Chain A
């Protein structure tokens, strides 16, 4: 099977030469640093919790304990201080020494500046109300034990539907962005490489030795491996965090696993077509504009994957080979992709890759030895 060996040799050269280039290592280093920062920063930020200062007037021990206990509800530290009267509390809030003032008694008052700290205001309001209620119940002759029993009766728990939807959306967005940027980069790289080979005329030397299919597929494979290495640099910190038992946005794992399958197929498809388009140009500078139709398709599917993967448009685009690589992983991350739709989409992608290899290498072979002007795709396909 000299075809396989040739493909391997062509891919090996791409990989070796890429690893020799400084740009590869710069991009890899940036990805490792960026991704590590993305994994560590939320943890670091979590350490610095919010803290609230509450100034209390005429507080009872019970009031103070229920205010301190509110720190769990608010997910913040609550620091208490006391003031001799309501006027002093007002001054403290006005000066910003305290966030909220709590004046206990028969007519409890919450002092707050402007519209600030609504959650804290609600908590303090509730604590003051409870305190007033307890005082009145005891005054009416109810035993403190009974009061305690009644007031510690369990309150309703909140049942949230669609929990973690925003997290999943975030996971989908991360995956789609990473795939989008990577595909865009690799596509330009393949088209550029092909255009360089054509304008350098090395393609004729190679075509005399190697079948065009092996040449095109080897390049796609080599550049794709460079892409996977790059991707691995970005994913490594995620895996490390996962192994260390850290939190990930829920849905990220699924999106990553699904993303891998579509990335490989979609990547192959985009890169093969990019190679064929790159063979049409006369000068290397035209490579970017030659792959414009692919770039536009990629940008379009990125936008849908980012904004509305769960829409009807997203459902349709998840089947179409050129748009599915970005849209389908996003739908998987959102949890709206059925196993059947995933299977159908995968099969369509495989078929598209097979067709692309055939058409791509025909275009590549015909176009790469025809120099002197930029070629039209339709003319090359007709063989004219």
Chain B
């Protein structure tokens, strides 16, 4: 199943996909979403990316009917999504929340039943999921007695216990340590490899760059870029030169190559139109010895900055 970069609102709907079209939402006088579209086909990792306050959480709440949008529709498998459809989805909100005085297994079984499962099935799935998440021995513990990392995993389990067709995770990586990031990434990949739908949001663009297959970039309530990440990168005219030394901005003519970032591992320069990376590298080597370098397509955050027309690095 090949998914090309799609322009929402123009293509035929992919059969087993979630589509939101023309979503607008304002709170008081503040416009939070302004005609945003998103499409979540099955079998691909879809990232809804953008800075804090871009409208990601609001869009997700609207997908689940927690908020009623001022305009726009949410479709599931080609028709307007119903309460029963939504019951088959799973949602992990950005603001984590569980009944702290409930026992882990009781809570998960109860949530599975709210999703329509019977008690025995719900309990069996909860036990299996706890096993997968490495929480098998904590099933009788109260949530409040778990560590932060474990509570995070229970939160994920609460969104997945009914084996949802569509899994929506709002900022799932925020606050996770690197081990937990790896673990969660594996869970996400497993979910989509089973042919199911998944949408997650993040404002940490560099953290999720390797995970996303398709991205929807959102800024100030508008979708600014959408499509297959690899295709978008290839299509971008921008190229970057990376060197393992600290480059001073005055060494190179900014029209030829501009330093965009410098950190402990070196500097990154955006090459101007028609600039020769070899010539720029020579200019730098004339100042300091360079042992590592490379010419690269834009990173996800560089794609975002270009699309959003912002000069500064996003949060």
Any B CB within 8 A of the CB of A2: yes
Q: Which chain B residues border A16 with CB–CB below 8 Å?
A: 106
Q: Which chain A residues border B102 with CB–CB below 8 Å?
A: 17
In contact, B99 and A200 (Cβ under 8 angstroms): yes
Q: Which chain B residues border A94 with CB–CB below 8 Å?
A: none
Q: Which of B45-53, B82-90, B279-287 faces chain A? A: B82-90
Contact of B98 among A202, A207, A209 (CB under 8 A): A202
In contact, A204 and B87 (Cβ under 8 angstroms): no
Instruction: Name the residue in B64, B87, B99 with the highest tally of chain A Cβ atoms < 10 Å from its Cβ.
Output: B99
Contact of A208 among B84, B91, B99, B106 (CB under 8 A): B91
Q: Which chain A residues border B92 with CB–CB below 8 Å?
A: 205
Given contacts A9-B114, A206-B114, A209-B115, contact A2 B95 (CB under 8 A): no
Q: Which chain B residues border A202 with CB–CB below 8 Å?
A: 97-99
In contact, A384 and B114 (Cβ under 8 angstroms): no
Which bucket holds chain A's interface residue count? 20 to 34
Chain B, 100-114, contact with A by CB distance < 8 Å: what is the 0/1 string?
111000100011011
Q: Which chain A residues border B220 with CB–CB below 8 Å?
A: none
Any A CB within 8 A of the CB of B158: yes
In contact, A200 and B98 (Cβ under 8 angstroms): yes
Instruction: Give, as a whole number of angstroms, the nearest-CB distance from A192 to chain B.
Output: 12
In contact, A204 and B95 (Cβ under 8 angstroms): yes
Q: Which chain A residues border B113 with CB–CB below 8 Å?
A: 9
Given contacts A6-B114, A369-B66, contact A209 B87 (CB under 8 A): yes
Q: Which chain A residues border B95 with CB–CB below 8 Å?
A: 201, 204, 371
Q: Which A residues, 186 to 210, have Cβ-Cβ distances below 8 Å to chain B?
A: 197, 200-210
In contact, B93 and A204 (Cβ under 8 angstroms): yes
Any B CB within 8 A of the CB of A283: no
Q: Which chain B residues border A206 with CB–CB below 8 Å?
A: 114
Q: Which B residues, 112 to 163, have Cβ-Cβ distances below 8 Å to chain A?
A: 113-116, 158-159
Any A CB within 8 A of the CB of B61: yes
Which residue in chain B gives the minimum CB-CB distance to A371? B95
Docked complex Cα distance between A228 and B110 (Å): 24
Contact of B116 among A2, A201, A204 (CB under 8 A): A2
Docked complex Cα distance between A6 and B83 (Å): 12
Query: Residues of B within 8 Å of A, CB-based: how many?
Result: 31
In contact, A17 and B101 (Cβ under 8 angstroms): yes
Any A CB within 8 A of the CB of B176: no
Contact of B66 among A2, A197, A207, A384 (CB under 8 A): A207
Instruction: Name the residue in A201, A202, A208, A210 with the highest tally of chain B Cβ atoms < 10 Å from its Cβ.
Output: A208
Any A CB within 8 A of the CB of B187: no
Docked complex Cα distance between A209 and B162 (Å): 12
Q: Which B residues, 42 to 65, have Cβ-Cβ distances below 8 Å to chain A?
A: 61, 64-65
In contact, A204 and B66 (Cβ under 8 angstroms): yes
Q: Which chain B residues border A205 with CB–CB below 8 Å?
A: 91-93, 97-98, 111, 158-159
In contact, A384 and B28 (Cβ under 8 angstroms): yes
In contact, B115 and A369 (Cβ under 8 angstroms): no
Instruction: Give, as a whole number of angstroms, the nearest-CB distance from B20 to chain A.
Output: 15
Q: Which chain B residues border A200 with CB–CB below 8 Å?
A: 97-100
Q: Which B residues, 67 to 88, have Cβ-Cβ distances below 8 Å to chain A?
A: 67, 83-84, 86-87
Q: Which A residues, 347 to 369, have Cβ-Cβ distances below 8 Å to chain B?
A: 369
Docked complex Cα distance between A202 and B110 (Å): 13
Instruction: Give, as a whole number of angstroms, the nearest-CB distance from A24 to chain B.
Output: 13
Which residue in chain A gives the minimum CB-CB distance to B115? A209
Q: Which chain B residues border A210 with CB–CB below 8 Å?
A: 114
In contact, B86 and A9 (Cβ under 8 angstroms): no
In contact, B100 and A369 (Cβ under 8 angstroms): no
Docked complex Cα distance between A210 and B110 (Å): 12
Q: Which chain B residues border A2 with CB–CB below 8 Å?
A: 83-84, 87, 116
Instruction: Give, as a whole number of angstroms, the nearest-CB distance from A132 to chain B.
Output: 81
Chain A, 205-217, contact with B by CB distance < 8 Å: what is the 0/1 string?
1111111000000
Contact of B114 among A201, A203, A209 (CB under 8 A): A209
Docked complex Cα distance between A211 and B61 (Å): 14
In contact, B93 and A13 (Cβ under 8 angstroms): no
Docked complex Cα distance between A17 and B98 (Å): 14
Which residue in chain B gives the minimum CB-CB distance to A21? B101
In contact, B96 and A208 (Cβ under 8 angstroms): no
Which residue in chain B gives the minimum CB-CB distance to A12? B110
Instruction: Name the residue in A6, A9, A204, A210 with the highest tally of chain B Cβ atoms < 10 Å from its Cβ.
Output: A204
In contact, B67 and A369 (Cβ under 8 angstroms): yes
Which residue in chain B gives the minimum CB-CB distance to A13? B110
Docked complex Cα distance between A16 and B111 (Å): 15
Instruction: Give, as a whole number of angstroms, the nearest-CB distance from B269 to chain A.
Output: 41
Q: Which chain A residues border B91 with CB–CB below 8 Å?
A: 205, 208-209
Q: Which chain A residues border B115 with CB–CB below 8 Å?
A: 209
Q: Which chain A residues border B83 with CB–CB below 8 Å?
A: 2, 211
Q: Which A residues, 1 to 29, have Cβ-Cβ distances below 8 Å to chain B?
A: 2, 6, 9, 13, 16-17
In contact, A208 and B64 (Cβ under 8 angstroms): yes
In contact, B97 and A208 (Cβ under 8 angstroms): no
Instruction: Give, as a whole number of angstroms, the nearest-CB distance from B145 to chain A.
Output: 15
Which residue in chain B gives the minimum CB-CB distance to A211? B83
In contact, A204 and B110 (Cβ under 8 angstroms): no
In contact, A204 and B61 (Cβ under 8 angstroms): yes
Docked complex Cα distance between A211 and B66 (Å): 9
Q: Which A residues, 208 to 250, have Cβ-Cβ distances below 8 Å to chain B?
A: 208-211
Instruction: Name the residue in A9, A13, A211, A371 with the highest tally of chain B Cβ atoms < 10 Å from its Cβ.
Output: A13
In contact, B61 and A369 (Cβ under 8 angstroms): yes
Docked complex Cα distance between A201 and B65 (Å): 16
Instruction: Name the residue in B64, B99, B110, B114 with the highest tally of chain A Cβ atoms < 10 Å from its Cβ.
Output: B114
Q: Which residues of A contact B (CB under 8 A)?
A: 2, 6, 9, 13, 16-17, 197, 200-211, 369, 371, 384
Q: Which residues of B contact A (CB under 8 A)?
A: 28, 61, 64-67, 83-84, 86-87, 89, 91-93, 95-102, 106, 110-111, 113-116, 158-159
Can you sample 8 A-B contacts with CB below 8 Å?
Answer: A2-B87, A9-B110, A17-B102, A202-B97, A203-B97, A205-B93, A205-B158, A208-B89
> Which 8 A-B residue pairs are closest in the complex by CB-CB distance?
A201-B97, A202-B97, A201-B95, A208-B64, A208-B91, A204-B93, A200-B97, A207-B66
A-B contacts besides A9-B114, A202-B98, A205-B111, 13 pairs, CB < 8 Å:
A9-B110, A16-B106, A17-B99, A197-B99, A200-B99, A200-B100, A204-B97, A205-B159, A208-B65, A209-B91, A209-B114, A210-B114, A369-B66
